[in-house]
Structure 1
Amino acid sequence: MAPLDEIKGPEAHALPDTATLPAELAALYLCMSPAQLADLRKSKRPEGRAGNGPSVIRPVEGGAAGSKDPVLYALGTLREFAKAHPAPSDFDTALTTGLPGWLSAKLPFFAEREPRIKRGKRVLIGGAWDRADPLREQRFVDLAKGRIRFASLTCSEAAASLWADVAGHTAFAERGLALLKSETQAIEASLLATARLAETDPQD
């Protein structure tokens, strides 16, 4: 099986099931943390306790106790797992938890390899968790080949960063602007309610 950084020719865009990803990128592909993926490598009994049952997701190389070989996962295995587990990821949840999630939850973003302007300003390409992105798998090829990188940022930090395209930046930033508008309206409504309360029940 060929690692992504060794794929050339037409397969570089087709991403065959036999291509492999290292554990860090495999976890990113599945929209989970490396620790969560490592836990899924462990053999489990049906009731969920550690034991001699089948692994939930098996690497094609590495992962054995004491082994120094890197852990690699077949892309076909990752695709099958993702298809069987379509529930929203922790990253998706962070996007729907309102302003607290927008300000505090770290999400992975694809970013250009080198900053375009002085002082190391990052330029984002898109959300690495966005499984609906038609270019997502191609970006994993670029990531494995070192053409791009990924950065963990809060949504607020990402919205305030530079992006490679205006449409992507606008679509993402509008989520935050809508949250801020809703929060502002709620505060303004509370201020108005307080003023009305003071008018009807003046203090001595």
Structure 2
Amino acid sequence: MAHPDEIKGPEADALPDTATLPAELAALYLCISPAQLADLRKSKRPEGRAGNGPSIIKPVEGGPAGPKDPVLYKLGTLREFAKAHAAPSAFDGALNSGMPGWVSAKLPFFAEREPRIKRGKRVLIGGAWDRADPLREKRFKELAKGRIRFTSLTCAEAAASLWADVASHSAFAERGLALLRSETQAIEAALAETAQLAAASSPDAAG
């Protein structure tokens, strides 16, 4: 077995399964809302009604019990749940819903902790919902340690924000630019058809 100091690759950048995350970050890890996560820790009967059945996701037992204390989740539990529920999330649906989703749906983005330039402009790092991102585990480790933060933005806002690297910004922004090109082409095509319709119904055309 390799010495901990010799571990390299994604495992070295990831938090261990025994690490705990507060509910807000746990929900972010699972690509669901905090309200959905709260619902998942309620006991349910097999038919889905509230009852005395087992919780779907159990928070850490023996932790803070006060109503104002944070609920904590073991990362290993979250990883197991994520593997068992790998279907596209609501964030994925919003991202792929075309222009309406691009300009209206809020998605979570990793961002640098402090503004880099004047006027407090945020500097984005990547999409926090993107479970296919090979750097996601590393970024959650940085997030849990307070080295970075996350912010909720529409895709349009994110594309118009500053990013930590050009390649990530370009790849993300191209999706919005493609949508804009498609919208522009549709509008131009409709204008051309309107012109043809007007020309066909004009008195000169009828004569």
Q: Does 1:179 align with 2:183?
A: no
Structure 2 counterpart SS, 1:146: coil
| Equivalent position of 1:86 in the other structure | 86
Rounded to whole Å, the distance in 1 between the matches of 2:62 and 2:108 is 25
User: Rg bigger for which structure?
Assistant: 2
Counterpart position of 1:4: none
Cα offset for 1:151?
0.6
* 1:55–1:64 Cα change, 3 Å: farther
Q: Per-residue deviation at 1:19?
A: 1.1
Distance 2:18 2:86 in 1: 22
Residue identity in the other structure for 2:79: R
After TM superposition, list the pairs within 5 Å mapping 1:1-204 onto structure 2. Answer: 13-61=13-61, 67-202=67-202
Deviations 1:27-49 (A, max 9, x none): 00000110000000000001110
- Identity of matched residues, %: 83
Q: Which runs of 5+ in 2 are unaligned?
A: none
Q: Decide which moves more: 194-203 or 33-42.
A: 194-203
Q: Could you report, residue by residue, the CA deviation over 1:152-180 in whole angstroms, capped at 9, with x for unpaired residues?
A: 00000000000001110000000000000
Counterpart Cα distance in 1 of 2:12 and 2:21: 13
Unaligned stretches of 5+ residues in structure 1: 1-7
Q: CA deviation at 1:13?
A: 2.4
**CA deviation after TM superposition for structure 1 residue 146, in Å:** 1.2
Residues matched between the structures, number? 197
Would you say the 8 A contact 2:18–2:76 is kept in 1?
A: yes
Q: Distance in 1 between matches of 2:186 and 2:69?
A: 54
Task: Give the Å deviation of 1:135.
Answer: 1.1
Change (3 A) 1:202 1:36: same
The superposition leaves residues 108-151 of structure 1 with CA deviations (integer Å, 9 ceiling, x where unpaired) of 00000111110001100000001111111111111111111111
Separation (CA, whole Å) in 1 of partners of 2:199 and 2:49? 63
TM value normalised by structure 2: 0.89
* Worse-superposed segment, 54-63 or 119-128: 54-63
Change in 2 beyond 3 A, CA 1:203/1:83: farther
Write the distance in 2 (CA, Å) between the matches of 1:145 and 1:129.
19
**Do the aligned residues in 2 keep the contact of 1:108 with 1:150 (CA within 8 Å)?**
yes
Inter-partner Cα distance in structure 2 for 1:81 and 1:74:
11
CA contact under 8 A between 2:14 and 2:141: conserved in structure 1?
A: no
